[in-house]
Structure 1
Amino acid sequence: MTTTAPTLVFDLDGTLADTAHDLIATLNVLLAREGRPKVAPEAARSLVGAGARALIERGFALDGAPPPPEQVDPLVQDFLAHYEAHIADESRLFPGALTALDRFAAAGFRLAVCTNKPERLAKLLLEKLEAADRFAAICGRGTFPMHKPDPRTLLLTIEAAGGDPRRAVMVGDSKTDVDTAKNAGAPVVAVDFGYTDVPVSELGPDRIISHFDDLWDATHAILRAPAPGRT
């Protein structure tokens, strides 16, 4: 009987790719249009990571007044249109990410992306960054009826990649990612360079890395560890 190859599932923004500058630049286009002060890229840790709607609401709230509810949907549509046209102006894969992906792929791992970014934009970004062909599945908002932290999002992504949830590891940068993995009963590696205003050390991941060079050892340490309840 053969053993299914392990599956490595990545979050996208703040994990694989540093997208903050393009996201914040798009937000600033809307803020300027509405006569609101712009925000600095350094604000990304507290603004980015929960999708366009949350980014807009949080960005506008920095000025003390979130947008009226009836304006949010039009703002989201304007945001997505502008962002799509500028999706990779400054966005880049984090250092070592591509090398790590290729190393895992050469070792037989299945690779996938599970993000709350709209699926179409996730695929477009990864194509622009010349990394899309590394993944057996790229799943985002709209791929499934639910999104992270619903565990079914991760489990269905693993299934789409042809993997086994019993031999899968999530890699993310936020509470949403850690909660998704835990809810699905999967181990999780957290990167400490992403977009979260809560230190990942406080979120309880199985491992923490500060560079993609460390992902190989972290992942194999997790896969070698006995599963809960198993001796």
Structure 2
Amino acid sequence: MSASPNTADVLIFDLDGTLIDSAHDIAAAVNEYLASKGWPEQDPAFVEGFIGNGPRRLLLDLLLAVGLPHDDATVDEAVPTYIANYERSPARHTRFYAHVKEDLHRLREAGFRLGLCTNKPHALTLKVLDLLGIAPLFEAVVGADAAPACKPDPAHLLAVCERMGAPPASVAYVGDTAVDQATAAAAGISFHVVPWGGGSLLKVDEAFRLDRLADLMALKPAAARRTA
């Protein structure tokens, strides 16, 4: 028997791969670092496969995959350099996935409270949201370095819930990766997956698979729908 989504009045989102396609800007920052070391630049589509676990894991996993030095000292040096590169131009090529911006506005107008839980550094997250014009939509934003521990540790997602005063039973988490899925499961929060980013690769009950963010309107409690 297939599961059915519960109602929710709080929606918390992942950022990269869920709301925005930021792979080209992330790859540009990575490639700027690689070029500074005299190492070969990588295709953005290849870099995209390492996004989701935060800057340190991104760089560690990528360096390991291409056979470059990946010891602690190298990664310790790479992380702040990559972040500085990214901060200089964090949204030049970044785009929303189809209908995302309009659907976020629709969800807010329908009475949903919106939050954000991302493994991107906190200050950088706020800058990207501001540049893209959606910062005011979110009641709480928690980047990886603003949480007790980052995803897939459930403390990250639960920190967003705490800031919003939202019990987990009232929350749905929306993402595109196995990291997002595992985080929600560990936090006891329902998980819904988008069809883009890495979402198509996840094994999720069809009832929790979105075509677009506006599908989340179905989670609105019946009483709220009658008064809307």
Secondary structure of the corresponding residue to residue 111 of structure 1: strand
Unaligned runs of 5+ in 2: 1-7, 223-228
Secondary structure of the corresponding residue to residue 12 of structure 1: coil
Deviation at 1:84, TM superposition (A): 0.5
Cα distance in structure 1, aligned partners of 2:127 and 2:12 = 18
2:201 is aligned to 199
8 Å Cα contact 1:48-1:195 kept in structure 2:
no
Is 1:61 equivalent to 2:64 in the alignment? yes
1:95 is aligned to 98
8 Å Cα contact 1:101-1:134 kept in structure 2:
yes
Deviation at 1:203, TM superposition (A): 5.5
**Structure having greater relative contact order (Cα 8 Å, sep ≥ 6):** 2
Is 1:145 equivalent to 2:148 in the alignment? yes
Deviation at 1:34, TM superposition (A): 1.7
Cα distance in structure 2, aligned partners of 1:182 and 1:205 = 17
Of 84, 102, 105, 1:81 maps to 84
Unaligned runs of 5+ in 1: 225-231
2:226 is aligned to none
**Aligned-residue RMSD, C-alpha:** 2.2
Is the alpha carbon distance of 1:16 and 1:29 closer, same or farther for their aligned partners in structure 2, counting shifts above 3 Å?
Answer: same
Deviation at 1:205, TM superposition (A): 8.1
Is the alpha carbon distance of 1:188 and 1:143 closer, same or farther for their aligned partners in structure 2, counting shifts above 3 Å?
Answer: same
Deviation at 1:57, TM superposition (A): 1.8
Q: Which amino acid aligns with 1:199?
A: L
Mean CA deviation greater in 109-118 or 158-167 = 158-167
Cα deviation code 1:79-113 (max 9, x no counterpart):
01110111011112222111111111111111000
Secondary structure of the corresponding residue to residue 22 of structure 1: helix
Of 49, 54, 59, 1:46 maps to 49
Cα distance in structure 2, aligned partners of 1:54 and 1:204 = 29
Mean CA deviation greater in 54-63 or 96-105 = 54-63
1:209 is aligned to 210
Of 185, 193, 201, 1:190 maps to 193
Deviation at 1:66, TM superposition (A): 3.4
2:176 is aligned to 173
Secondary structure of the corresponding residue to residue 38 of structure 1: coil
Give identity over the alignment, percent: 35
Cα distance in structure 1, aligned partners of 2:63 and 2:17 = 21
Q: Which amino acid aligns with 1:216?
A: M
Cα distance in structure 2, aligned partners of 1:35 and 1:204 = 46
Of 101, 109, 113, 2:112 maps to 109
Cα deviation code 1:89-139 (max 9, x no counterpart):
111222211111111111111100011111111111000000000000011
Deviation at 1:35, TM superposition (A): 2.0
Deviation at 1:65, TM superposition (A): 2.7
Secondary structure of the corresponding residue to residue 47 of structure 1: coil
Q: Tell me the number of residue pairs that the alignment of Structure 1 and Structure 2 aligns.
A: 216
Q: Which amino acid aligns with 2:57?
A: A
8 Å Cα contact 1:95-1:212 kept in structure 2:
no
Cα distance in structure 1, aligned partners of 2:74 and 2:47 = 22
Q: Which amino acid aligns with 1:179?
A: A
| TM value normalised by structure 2 | 0.86
Cα distance in structure 1, aligned partners of 2:149 and 2:159 = 10
| TM value normalised by structure 1 | 0.85
Secondary structure of the corresponding residue to residue 120 of structure 2: strand
Cα distance in structure 2, aligned partners of 1:156 and 1:216 = 24
8 Å Cα contact 1:36-1:63 kept in structure 2:
no
8 Å Cα contact 2:176-2:196 kept in structure 1:
yes
